[in-house]
C-alpha cells in the first residue's frame, strides 16, 4: 500500500480534476484525498492555517498544496520532507506552518528542497504543469528517497520564504489578564477563530471581549440560540461563536482583526 496524495488549493472546480488526471496518469492506482479546493483566493496565511490543522491527522502522505498568487513569476517551487510526510507547493510560506506542526507531532526534522524546473506548459496553472508532476516524482521514488531526484536540491532556511502565523500578547496586572489576539480565519460556520490558545482561558467562566462579557463554554448548545459564546475550537484556539448563528457577524470580526479578551 503506497501513501495517499492529499490535494489542497484555492482552485474551485474543475481545475483540481486536471491535477488528479496528471497524478493518475503517472501513478496508476494512487489514492487521492481532497483536503479543500475552496480556500479563500490567493490567501496564503488562511490556507497555511487550515493545512496546519488538517494535514497532521493524515498517515504518511504526499501533500500537494497550491495557493499561489505568484504563479508565472520567478518564485521558486519547494518540496518539504517531515519524517514520512512530504509537502509540495510554491515557495511563498504556505508549506511551513503545516510542516512545523507535523514535525512537532512526529518529532521529526523539516528538510526543505528547492525544485529546479523548466518553463511549465502554462504560466497560470502550475498546479497541473509543475506541482502535480513533482508530487508524482516524490511519490514514485518514495518520501525517504526524495534527495535522489536530480531536480531537488536541499536548501537552508535563508533560501526559502517562511511564514509564521501571528502570536497573541498577554498582559497581567493586579490579578487582571488582558490577551490581545487576532482573528486568523473565519470558518464556514461563521466562527471567528483567533490565535489565542485555549489553555489561557482554562478556568474562566466568562471573559470580556472588546468590552462585552461573553460566557466561555464547552458546547454551542450551552447558550441559547442566537447568543454569543467563546469556546476552544477543535484546533485548540479560542473562537468567537454564536449558537446556531454566525460569530463573525455578531462580534463584528473579520480575518486580521485584533480582538482583546480581559478576565
DSSP output for 233-263 = -TTSEEEEEETTB-HHHHHT--TT-EEEEE-
Four-residue CA torsion sign, 148, 154, 160, 165: positive
E strand residue ranges, 31-125: 32-36, 62-66, 77-82, 85-90, 110-115
In the region spanning residues 3 to 42, those forming contacts with a copy of itself, defined by CB under 8 A, are 4, 6, 8, 11-15, 17-18, 20-22, 24-25, 28-29, 31-39, 41-42
Query: Among 5, 62, 70, 247, which residue sits at the site for a copy of itself (rule: CB under 8 A)?
Result: 70
How many whole angstroms separate alpha carbon 73 and alpha carbon 124? 9
Lookup: cell for 254:
473579520
Q: Give the interface segment with a copy of itself, choosing from 80-88, 145-153, 161-169, 219-227 (CB under 8 A).
A: 219-227
Closer residue to a copy of itself in complex, CB, 173/188: 188
How many whole angstroms separate alpha carbon 257 and alpha carbon 114? 34
Is residue 81 at the binding interface for a copy of itself, with CB under 8 A as the rule? Answer: no
Q: Give the interface segment with a copy of itself, choosing from 71-79, 106-114, 147-155, 204-212 (CB under 8 A).
A: 71-79
How many whole angstroms separate alpha carbon 179 and alpha carbon 263? 9
Query: Among 45, 48, 53, 197, which residue sits at the site for a copy of itself (rule: CB under 8 A)?
Result: 53
CA distances from 212 to 195, 207, 209, 262 (A): 19, 8, 5, 10
In the region spanning residues 90 to 149, those forming contacts with a copy of itself, defined by CB under 8 A, are 121-125, 128-129
Closer residue to a copy of itself in complex, CB, 59/175: 59
Report which of 50, 60, 59 is spatially closest to residue 10, judged by C-alpha positions: 50
How many whole angstroms separate alpha carbon 140 and alpha carbon 155? 22
Query: Among 160, 201, 220, 251, which residue sits at the site for a copy of itself (rule: CB under 8 A)?
Result: 220
Report the DSSP beta bridge partners of residue 90.
Answer: 77
In the complex, minimum distance from the CB of residue 211 to a copy of itself, in angstroms, rounded to a whole number: 25
Query: Among 165, 233, 255, 262, which residue sits at the site for a copy of itself (rule: CB under 8 A)?
Result: 233
Closer residue to a copy of itself in complex, CB, 165/180: 165
Q: What is the DSSP letter of 129?
A: I
In the complex, minimum distance from the CB of residue 244 to a copy of itself, in angstroms, rounded to a whole number: 6
Closer residue to a copy of itself in complex, CB, 122/254: 122
Q: Give the interface segment with a copy of itself, choosing from 1-9, 157-165, 206-214, 253-261 (CB under 8 A).
A: 1-9
How many whole angstroms separate alpha carbon 19 and alpha carbon 17? 5
Size of the site for a copy of itself (CB under 8 A): 63
Contact residues toward a copy of itself (CB under 8 A) are 1, 4, 6, 8, 11-15, 17-18, 20-22, 24-25, 28-29, 31-39, 41-42, 50, 53-59, 69-73, 121-125, 128-129, 187-189, 218-222, 231-234, 239, 244
Amino acid at each position: 500500500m503506497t501513501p495517499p496524495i492529499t490535494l489542497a488549493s484555492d482552485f474551485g472546480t474543475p481545475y483540481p480534476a486536471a491535477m488528479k488526471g496528471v497524478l493518475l496518469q503517472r501513478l496508476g492506482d494512487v489514492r487521492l484525498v481532497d483536503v479543500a479546493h475552496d480556500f479563500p483566493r490567493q490567501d496564503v496565511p488562511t490556507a497555511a492555517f487550515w493545512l496546519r490543522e488538517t494535514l497532521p491527522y493524515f498517515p504518511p502522505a504526499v501533500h500537494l498544496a497550491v495557493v499561489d498568487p505568484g504563479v508565472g513569476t520567478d518564485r521558486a517551487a519547494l518540496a518539504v520532507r517531515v519524517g514520512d510526510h512530504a509537502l509540495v507547493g510554491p515557495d511563498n510560506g504556505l508549506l511551513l506552518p503545516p510542516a512545523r506542526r507535523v514535525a512537532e507531532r512526529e518529532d521529526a526534522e523539516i528538510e526543505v528542497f528547492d525544485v529546479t524546473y523548466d518553463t511549465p506548459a502554462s504560466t497560470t496553472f502550475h498546479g497541473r504543469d509543475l506541482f502535480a508532476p513533482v508530487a508524482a516524482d516524490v511519490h514514485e521514488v518514495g518520501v525517504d528517497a526524495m534527495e535522489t531526484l536530480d531536480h531537488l536540491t536541499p536548501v537552508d532556511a535563508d533560501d526559502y520564504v517562511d511564514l509564521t502565523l501571528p502570536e497573541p500578547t498577554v498582559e497581567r496586572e493586579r490579578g487582571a489578564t488582558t490577551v490581545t489576539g487576532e482573528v486568523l480565519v473565519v470558518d464556514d460556520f461563521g466562527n471567528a477563530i483567533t490565535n489565542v490558545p485555549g489553555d489561557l482561558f482554562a478556568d474562566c467562566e466568562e471573559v470580556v471581549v472588546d468590552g462585552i462579557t461573553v460566557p466561555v463554554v464547552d458546547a454551542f448548545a450551552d447558550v441559547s440560540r442566537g447568543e454569543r459564546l467563546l469556546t476552544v475550537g477543535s484546533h485548540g484556539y479560542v473562537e468567537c461563536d454564536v449558537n446556531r448563528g454566525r460569530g463573525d457577524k455578531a462580534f463584528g470580526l473579520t480575518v486580521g482583526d485584533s480582538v482583546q479578551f480581559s478576565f
